[in-house]
Amino acid sequence: MTKVCFCGISGNGMSPLAQILSLKGYDVYGSDRSFDVGRDADRRQALEDMGIKIVPQNGSSITKDMEVYVSAALDETNPDVKAALQLGIPVKKRSDLLAQVFSEYKYGIAVGGTSGKTTTTAMIGYILNTLNKKPCMINGGMLRNYEKQKGISNFIYNTEDICVIEADESDGSICKYYPSVGIINNISHDHTSMEKLQEYFLTFASHVKEALIINYDCELTRNIKHANAITFSTVNPSADFYADNIKFNAEGLEYSFRGQNFRLKLFGAFNVSNALAAIAACTQAGVDPLAAAKTLEGFLGIQRRLEIVGTTKTNITLIDDFAHNPSKIGSSLGALKEYDGRLIVMYQSHSAFSAQNTGHEVAEVVAKTLGPDDIFLMPEVYMLNPETDKGITAANIINDIKSFGFKNAYFLKTQSAVHDYIAQNAKAGDRVVIMGARDNTLPTFSRNLLKEL
């Protein structure tokens, strides 16, 4: 039995791999700063339920007989990393392990793209699992259809031929995968420069062995070349997978595909594009495309992707959303503006780098998307290490929003201050949206706010 330690195990990228290795029979340990300060108790318990041993992140549990994997957020100043290096243990990235697990399956499907990859990955996993194709699926978001399974619901584990993964471009690790089928949903500015992003996706495309599925509605993906390029679109009928007649209803969406009408229990027209990408991938894996579309009608979505937490007796709806870059924020807010009611939005930028890199673009998309009655609130940027993450404040983004002409934008330094503002100002018919990434306390914040409202 191999002993493995995951440093930063509470993260959405680390936790599915840790759980899968535990199921494979590995002796799995995990540490996380959040656990050490008493946060993310539910996640800790879920991982312990999977047989994973949670240890302090102080270096004391690192031993010579152990493999050590770290999340992209950790560096050589971390106590566990220091201890591993002192013992001569190679410190490996999460993406290295993901590439290894992925390569062990005969048929790999890797889902890339700046936006939509988590939902698309989940859709593919759900379709294949429901239709008894028995996939392994490794994702960065929790599938609502599998919330009752033991552990954290961001994976499906089987040992048959197919493996489906979310391929992250933020650190360039998307270049490590060699899938049978690759998907590129879209390309837009996020974690690094556009030049680097395009370089990463072109490299990824060159690694795809059988079919590259690309979004024909995004100019940057439409122009990517591959010997077997398969397109999807909600605009161009000449695409290989095309949907139209998109309608919005109280339960989600309706759309037409190959002469039949289908429903999705999701909000936002962009989810029809995600569905087309998933249907195309499953078709390559031997599933009838109409059967795939029909199966998706039972898909409940991903936690924190326009997730309706609940509605109060006074008709205030609380929505939790993971959006954290200009494109995703614009898509989520645009989807919500398709329905009636004022929006009160809290957005917490997930890192100092993100706030500096994309803050101005976030400001522009917020000002252009929200209406004159809507309200936009920001607490301070979420900083893992406030001592080093300096030189930026959310107040800068709020000032940018106002410079674009949207006046109802306010900097409220703490989550507590945002909570109090919303509790005092929300009224019947409002949609309250809690938006941001990385901070695993945001879902709890949303649910506590709902209770008070």
**DSSP characters for 194-247?**
HHHHHHHHHHHHHH-SSEEEEETTSHHHHT---TTEEEEESS-TTSSEEEEEEE
Q: What is the pLDDT of residues 222-264, one digit of tens each?
A: 989 999 999 999 999 999 999 999 998 878 899 999 999 999 9
Question: Of all residues in the chain, what percent carry a pLDDT higher than 90?
Answer: 75
Residues 6+ apart with CB under 8 A from 156: 125, 129, 135, 136, 137, 143, 146
Of the pLDDT bands very low, low, confident and very high (cuts 50, 70, 90), residue 75 is confident
List the beta bridge partners of residue 432: 318, 344
Average pLDDT over residues 59-67: 94
pLDDT value of residue 46: 96
Average pLDDT over residues 281-299: 98
pLDDT value of residue 102: 97
Beta strand 317-321 with 307-311: parallel, antiparallel or unpaired? antiparallel
pLDDT value of residue 71: 83
pLDDT value of residue 345: 97
| pLDDT over 60 (residue 133) | yes
- The residue behind tokens 């030189």 is 391
Q: What is the pLDDT of residues 191-208, one digit of tens each?
A: 667 788 888 989 999 999
pTM of the model: 0.85
pLDDT value of residue 424: 96
> With b meaning 16 or more CB within 10 Å and e meaning fewer, what string describes 256-280?
ebeeeebbbebbbbbbbbbbbbbbb
| pLDDT over 90 (residue 32) | yes
Quote the tokens at residue 245: 């007649």
Average pLDDT over residues 344-369: 90
Asked if residue 299 lies in contact with residue 123, where contact means CB atoms within 8 angstroms, the answer is: yes
| pLDDT over 80 (residue 4) | yes
Average pLDDT over residues 30-38: 93
| pLDDT over 80 (residue 357) | no
pLDDT value of residue 189: 66
Quote the tokens at residue 385: 């290490």
Other Cβ atoms less than 10 A from the Cβ of 315: the count is 11
Lowest mean pLDDT among 149-153, 263-267, 440-444, 448-452: 440-444
pLDDT value of residue 389: 58
Distance, in Å, from the CA atom of 438 to the CA atom of 34, rounded to the nearest integer, reads: 11
Asked if residue 107 lies in contact with residue 184, where contact means CB atoms within 8 angstroms, the answer is: no
| pLDDT over 60 (residue 296) | yes
Distance, in Å, from the CA atom of 353 to the CA atom of 241, rounded to the nearest integer, reads: 37
| pLDDT over 70 (residue 1) | no
| pLDDT over 90 (residue 429) | yes
pLDDT value of residue 76: 83
pLDDT value of residue 284: 98
Report the SS3 class of residue 28.
Answer: strand
Mean pLDDT, the chain, whole residue set: 92
Residues 6+ apart with CB under 8 A from 406: 366, 367, 370, 376
pLDDT value of residue 190: 60
User: What DSSP state is assigned to residue 382?
Assistant: P
Residues 6+ apart with CB under 8 A from 332: 268, 306, 321, 323, 433, 435
Distance, in Å, from the CA atom of 123 to the CA atom of 249, rounded to the nearest integer, reads: 21
Terminal Cα-to-Cα distance of the chain (whole angstroms):
50
pLDDT value of residue 191: 60
331 or 139, higher pLDDT: 139
| pLDDT over 60 (residue 172) | yes
Identify which of 218, 142, 138 has the alpha carbon closest to the alpha carbon of residue 179.
Answer: 138
Distance, in Å, from the CA atom of 368 to the CA atom of 361, rounded to the nearest integer, reads: 11
| pLDDT over 80 (residue 394) | yes
Average pLDDT over residues 396-401: 94
Asked if residue 10 lies in contact with residue 142, where contact means CB atoms within 8 angstroms, the answer is: no
pLDDT value of residue 385: 61
Of the pLDDT bands very low, low, confident and very high (cuts 50, 70, 90), residue 384 is low
Distance, in Å, from the CA atom of 324 to the CA atom of 435, rounded to the nearest integer, reads: 7
Asked if residue 300 lies in contact with residue 266, where contact means CB atoms within 8 angstroms, the answer is: no
pLDDT value of residue 358: 85
Distance, in Å, from the CA atom of 136 to the CA atom of 348, rounded to the nearest integer, reads: 33
Of the pLDDT bands very low, low, confident and very high (cuts 50, 70, 90), residue 115 is confident
Distance, in Å, from the CA atom of 81 to the CA atom of 249, rounded to the nearest integer, reads: 50
Q: Which domains does the chain have, with CATH numbers?
A: 3-96 (3.40.50.720), 105-298 (3.40.1190.10), 307-452 (3.90.190.20)
Average pLDDT over residues 95-102: 96
